[in-house]
Amino acid sequence: MTPSTLDALIEALRCLPGVGPKSAQRMAYHLLQRDQRGAARLAAALGQAIEVLRHCARCNTFTELEVCERCANPQRDHRLLCVVEMPADLAMMEQTHAYKGLYFVLMGRMSPLDGIGPRELKLDRLVERATDGVVEEVILATNFTNEGEVTAHTVSELLGARGLKVSRIARGVPVGGEIEHTDIGTIAQALIERRSV
Q: Which residues bind its own copies (CB under 8 A)?
A: 1-6, 8-9, 11-13, 15-18, 22-23, 25-33, 35-36, 38-50, 52-53, 62-64, 68-70, 86-88, 91, 94, 107-108, 180
Q: Nearest approach, Cβ of 117 to its own copies (angstroms)? A: 17
> Position 168: which residue type?
R
Q: Nearest approach, Cβ of 97 to its own copies (angstroms)? A: 13
Q: Nearest approach, Cβ of 31 to its own copies (angstroms)? A: 7
Selection from 1, 27, 24 nearest residue 11 by Cα: 24
Please identify, using beta-carbon distances, which residue of 64 and 124 lies nearer to its own copies.
64
Please identify, using beta-carbon distances, which residue of 2 and 113 lies nearer to its own copies.
2
- The residues, ordered by sequence, that sit 6+ positions from 113 with a Cβ below 8 Å of its Cβ are none
Selection from 114, 151, 152, 126 nearest residue 61 by Cα: 126
Q: Nearest approach, Cβ of 193 to its own copies (angstroms)? A: 25
Selection from 57, 62, 141, 128 nearest residue 101 by Cα: 141
Distance of CA 74 to the CA centre of its chain: 23
Please identify, using beta-carbon distances, which residue of 69 and 132 lies nearer to its own copies.
69
Please identify, using beta-carbon distances, which residue of 94 and 157 lies nearer to its own copies.
94
SS3 77: strand
